[in-house]
Structure 1
Amino acid sequence: MDSIEAVPVTSPGTGTETDVAAERARTVGAGLSHHFNAAGSALPSHGVMAAVVDHLRLEERYGGYEAAAVARERTEDVYAAAAELIGVGAHEIALFDSASTGLRVLLDALRPGRGARVIASSTTYVSHALHLMTMARERGLDLVVAPVDHRRRVDLDALDALLADERPSILTVSHIPTSSGLVEPAEGIGEIARRHRATYILDATQSVGHLNVDVGAIGCDALVTTGRKFLRGPRGTGFAYVSESLFERMTPTAPDVRGARWVSASGWELSQDARRFESWESAVAARLGLGAALREAIARSPERTERWLRGRAGLLRSALADIPGVTIADPEGAVSAIVTFVVDGVECRAVVEALAARNVRVVSVPATHGQWDLGARALPSVVRASVHVYNDEADLGALVDAVRAVAAGRGGEAHG
């Protein structure tokens, strides 16, 4: 690759650009490899790691509960920061150990019974799809995979027609899938869901910290995301937004002392906020790391981050498409920071291994992680590269050069 020139990306009203050098300076891992796995688990910053380690030191000295008491104010700020980032109230935020846990807890709390209709996007992640299919099999739910348009996105007209019978429905959509750079039309889906009074749950695992996610504009009733991906938080963290109007109608299937109060021999009261879905035990240090990551994401500006990441990925997608023997696997019009591709005659796992030999970190995504998407497109797997704010021109160049070498049959030649 000759060069990938910097794209000046400014935040409206600020006149400032994403400072990649500054992001790299506070990211140890950025100097150790060409890391393109933000969609799996992004590199954390010094600030995030310090928040985690400092609290663990407190636990070491004083004990877990005592350290939690000292950190209570900072723990409360995690709710405030999550709410600020996506434009909701802090009382509508619940913390979880993962997005998959959050989706499972919320869907169970909706208690869909036999004959209830659940409509899922074709981009649904494997863990959520397995839960949905299990519920359909064991509870007799009517599980429908939403029709897609020519770009593999939810077909808005077909969805509108599907919901026109006004049958009560739960609509669950993956904003950005694990298997491609596609972005679902979340706002258009929200408009249709509101019109037909469908309960709309957005899996924002790959979009919060990546796109400028505004719950008010999207119109979802609930949103679930993880901490470890584009938010750059620790593994084992995540959060959910549940609108007040929705959580008041939901009862967790396993109330916990964190979200309920035992008031009589056979009675209990649920918390009057979204914390009714939480469990008492949690990794406080990891949650404080999530809080630090959320504050950093806010400081970076979601609008500026989105524009920067889309610009970088666009350059990468174009450069990879120019390599003979490489095919971009993203559906038409994909514009997110996730770029998927295949190399003719080379298994995706072998591509990943060859790039790793050149210190370039990407992953392969098998069809078993997205049968309604990759399986439907007859793709056994794809290579996935995901860009973040710490990836500079040298990173992009190294990735493209490594893929070119693999495509030319020189994949095993690592740089000295």
Structure 2
Amino acid sequence: MDLSVNADRAGAGTVSAQAATVDVARERAQTVGVRHAHHLNSAGAALPTVAVVDEVVAHLRREENEGGYEAAAAVSGRIEQVYADAARAVGASAEEIALADSATSGLRVIVDALRVDRSTRLLVGRSTYVSHALHLLSLAKHTDAELIVVPNGADGAIDLERLERLLTGGPRDVVCLAHVPTSSGLVEPVRDIGALTRRSGAVYLLDATQSVGHLRVDVDEIGCDALVTTGRKFLRAPRGTGFAYIRGALLDGLAPVAPDVRGAVWTGAREWSLSPTARRFETWESSVAGRLGLGVALRQLLARGVDATAAYLCATATLLRQGLAAIDAVTVQDPPSCASGIVTFTVDGLEAEAVSQRLAARGVRTVAVPASHGQWDLGARGVPAVVRASVHVYNDDADADALLDAVAEIARGAGT
């Protein structure tokens, strides 16, 4: 499959030109993992570059020699730069960024700070990730808050007209959804949702775990009040890293349920003051080495260009969908509103986990996503599980051909 020749099939506009600006050979040269397998699991954990790994290891060696606190003090200026780079990646200011160990924990502390009660209406998309869904379900159960799963439209994305009718006006409406879900290549119409929430005064929380580093994400364009993302996926940063954005107007009215010495000062026997920035939601303990690695990954993304990255990933995934759809006994499970680097599919007569394992045996790395990770999506569609392939800038023609050839071989033998 010639990705460079066929890139313009991925969509209208400048996709081909943007995709052509990604130097795939250079990306592969900086990525050790491509030597060992066809890695198509960026939506799980992408392969880091040599520079990211070197940064992490170098700081761990520094901790070994100097001690953790001493090593952290020596790189404090570089950690400050991570906030600035994270802000640049999503169009925010550094004061609106809080570093976290995951998107899940980042979103949890923000939602808890909203002080959900029985007057709250939680309007959630079917694309909501399992960990976030369980948190919201638990809150609704224990606070009597109203939880409404907004239906999807014919294109598989959230039904904007239904959402508009459900919004009652005011900040007790909390809209929470994923930009790109774990269970398909869907891309939610996040800017249109932002326009609705701004008009109504609702609070808009966006899980951008699968989109930062993958698609263009600008918080002002989207209009969200808060956003969370992780480092390990499309940012190609170490596991255990991530960050949250909290718009200043929302931040002013939020206080963490459990203040920590990192974001608060204990000023008297029963008094404390909070950081004026989003760091009020951070905790003291963190992986300094991991955060330095996150900083390297962010700078590499910014240097490569978000638009070029998005164009290449979307073009590549479009070609994979076309190739998979042409294979007998294979069904592409992505909804019509898919414009991302994630592709999901099933093979007739085989469980998704079995397909993923057989692909792994052929050196092709994917993952099986069960309905238990997306009950409002896969469960609602009656799909027990899907195989998910997700691409990145280090994937080339050989990776695409390896996946398609292996799936075709597995599909031919599915009934035997």
Q: So what's the TM-score if we normalise by structure 2?
A: 0.96
Structural mapping, 1:10-409, within 5 Å: 17-164=21-168, 168-409=172-413
> Alignment partner of 2:377: what SS?
helix
RMSD over equivalenced CA pairs, Å: 1.8
User: What stretches of structure 1 of length at least 5 have no aligned partner?
Assistant: none
Runs of 4+ in 1 over 3 A off after TM superposition: 2-16, 164-167
CA deviation digits over 1:39-65, x for unaligned, max 9?
Answer: 000000011101100100100000000
Counterparts of 2:18 and 2:205 in 1: how far apart (Å)? 33
In the superposition, relative to structure 1, how do residues 411 and 267 fare at CA in structure 2: closer, same or farther (>3 Å)? farther
Greater shift in the superposed pair: 138-147 or 7-16: 7-16
In the superposition, relative to structure 1, how do residues 207 and 14 fare at CA in structure 2: closer, same or farther (>3 Å)? closer
Give the CA deviation at 1:146. Answer: 1.3
> Alignment partner of 1:310: what SS?
helix
> Alignment partner of 1:309: what SS?
helix
Quick one: which amino acid aligns to residue 211 of structure 2?
S
Counterparts of 1:15 and 1:147 in 2: how far apart (Å)? 34
Give the CA deviation at 1:88. Answer: 0.6
In the superposition, relative to structure 1, how do residues 45 and 171 fare at CA in structure 2: closer, same or farther (>3 Å)? same
Kept in 1, the 8 Å contact 2:171–2:203? The answer is: no
Quick one: which amino acid aligns to residue 56 of structure 1?
L
Counterparts of 1:13 and 1:404 in 2: how far apart (Å)? 31
Counterparts of 1:69 and 1:165 in 2: how far apart (Å)? 47
Q: How many residues align?
A: 411
> Alignment partner of 2:227: what SS?
strand
Quick one: which amino acid aligns to residue 284 of structure 1?
V
Kept in 1, the 8 Å contact 2:22–2:308? The answer is: yes
Kept in 1, the 8 Å contact 2:15–2:315? The answer is: no
Among the aligned pairs, what percent are the same residue? 55
Counterparts of 2:185 and 2:20 in 1: how far apart (Å)? 26
Give the CA deviation at 1:8. Answer: 5.5
In the superposition, relative to structure 1, how do residues 224 and 135 fare at CA in structure 2: closer, same or farther (>3 Å)? same
Give the CA deviation at 1:166. Answer: 5.1
Q: So what's the TM-score if we normalise by structure 1?
A: 0.96
Quick one: which amino acid aligns to residue 117 of structure 2?
G
Counterparts of 1:403 and 1:336 in 2: how far apart (Å)? 21
Greater shift in the superposed pair: 140-149 or 359-368: 140-149
> Alignment partner of 1:228: what SS?
coil
Kept in 2, the 8 Å contact 1:20–1:389? The answer is: yes
Counterparts of 1:261 and 1:178 in 2: how far apart (Å)? 38
Kept in 2, the 8 Å contact 1:354–1:411? The answer is: no
Kept in 1, the 8 Å contact 2:350–2:414? The answer is: no
Counterparts of 1:233 and 1:68 in 2: how far apart (Å)? 19
Counterparts of 1:5 and 1:246 in 2: how far apart (Å)? 44
User: What stretches of structure 2 of length at least 5 have no aligned partner?
Assistant: 9-13
Counterparts of 1:13 and 1:314 in 2: how far apart (Å)? 16
Counterparts of 1:377 and 1:410 in 2: how far apart (Å)? 23
Kept in 1, the 8 Å contact 2:119–2:172? The answer is: no
Kept in 1, the 8 Å contact 2:262–2:283? The answer is: yes
CA deviation digits over 1:182-234, x for unaligned, max 9?
Answer: 00000000000000000000000000000011111000000000000000000
Give the CA deviation at 1:333. Answer: 3.2
Give the CA deviation at 1:112. Answer: 1.2
Kept in 1, the 8 Å contact 2:19–2:315? The answer is: no
> Alignment partner of 2:386: what SS?
strand
